Copies of this chain bind each other. A is one copy, B any other.
Amino acid sequence: MFFPFTDSPLAQEKTSLRHQQQDGATPDTAQQLLAAAAALMTERNTIDVPVADVAARAGLNAALVNYYFRTKTGLHMALVRRDAAQAVADMKKLLASGMPAPDKMRRHLAAMIRTFFRYPYLYRLLRALLRNADSKAARELTQFFSQPVVETQAAILAEGVASGDFRAMDPMMFHLCVTGACDHLFAESSTLRYTFGVKQIDEDLCNRYAEAVVDLLMNGVVDHRRA
């Protein structure tokens, strides 16, 4: 029931790339363009990177960006899909592992934070693509990224309640609360800069944040009557 990816946009993307391969282009070309976009967004600390710059960085013709992704939004969606594919595969593996629920949840929360750190443009891309909830992009993104996160969390929560480790919580409330806590480090560059004097989120800050969030949320969800 979890990760019903057979009809997902990811599967469609694979089909589409196979089709393009028959036309003489290679999936590698699309991947090179995505890697170039990711590198430029990371270096420049913005998601507003011109398509021409992406093609130049990849050493390819700018027309190929339109060929593979049609629009700039198409390029952005493909990039989120690429990064989400890894995160979703990791969640699937974690869920299938025999670990106790509290360990699974700790790792899941820390992994969410590290995913945003690993792809520094990801938080902003998600917010930009989700801004209009009525858009096709927002709907698709919810299916291939948010949905697996929601289902993973609900499953670990249920396991933990069943084992007596967690208190019972509404999975929707839990999802919103923990996701907000995990991504907020990446939402608050102004407060970080002007109130706390932090100009850049480095690996040390990311690790300390993951530790603090996991500590606070795990203390919030465990059933302390048991201890």
CA distance A218 to B198 in the complex (A): 27
| Interchain CB contact under 8 A, B219 and A221 | yes
Residues in B whose Cβ lies below 8 Å from that of A195: 142, 146-147, 150
Q: C-beta contact mask, A189-227 vs B, less than 8 Å → 1, else 0?
A: 111011110100000000011001101111111001001
Residues in B whose Cβ lies below 8 Å from that of A170: 208, 212
Residues in B whose Cβ lies below 8 Å from that of A182: 180
The smallest C-beta distance from A195 to any residue of chain B, in angstroms, reads 5
Asked if A89 CB lies within 8 Å of chain B CBs, one says: no
Residues in B whose Cβ lies below 8 Å from that of A175: 191
CA distance A172 to B213 in the complex (A): 11
| Interchain CB contact under 8 A, A194 and B142 | yes
Q: Contact residue range for chain A?
A: 35 or more
Residues in B whose Cβ lies below 8 Å from that of A198: 172
Asked if A159 CB lies within 8 Å of chain B CBs, one says: no
| Interchain CB contact under 8 A, B220 and A216 | yes
Asked if A118 CB lies within 8 Å of chain B CBs, one says: no
| Interchain CB contact under 8 A, A176 and B209 | yes
Asked if A141 CB lies within 8 Å of chain B CBs, one says: yes
Residues in B whose Cβ lies below 8 Å from that of A212: 169-170, 173-174, 177
Question: What is the interface of chain A, defined by CB distance below 8 A to chain B?
Answer: 127, 130, 133, 138-139, 141-143, 146-147, 150, 167, 169-170, 172-185, 187-191, 193-196, 198, 208-209, 212-213, 215-221, 224, 227
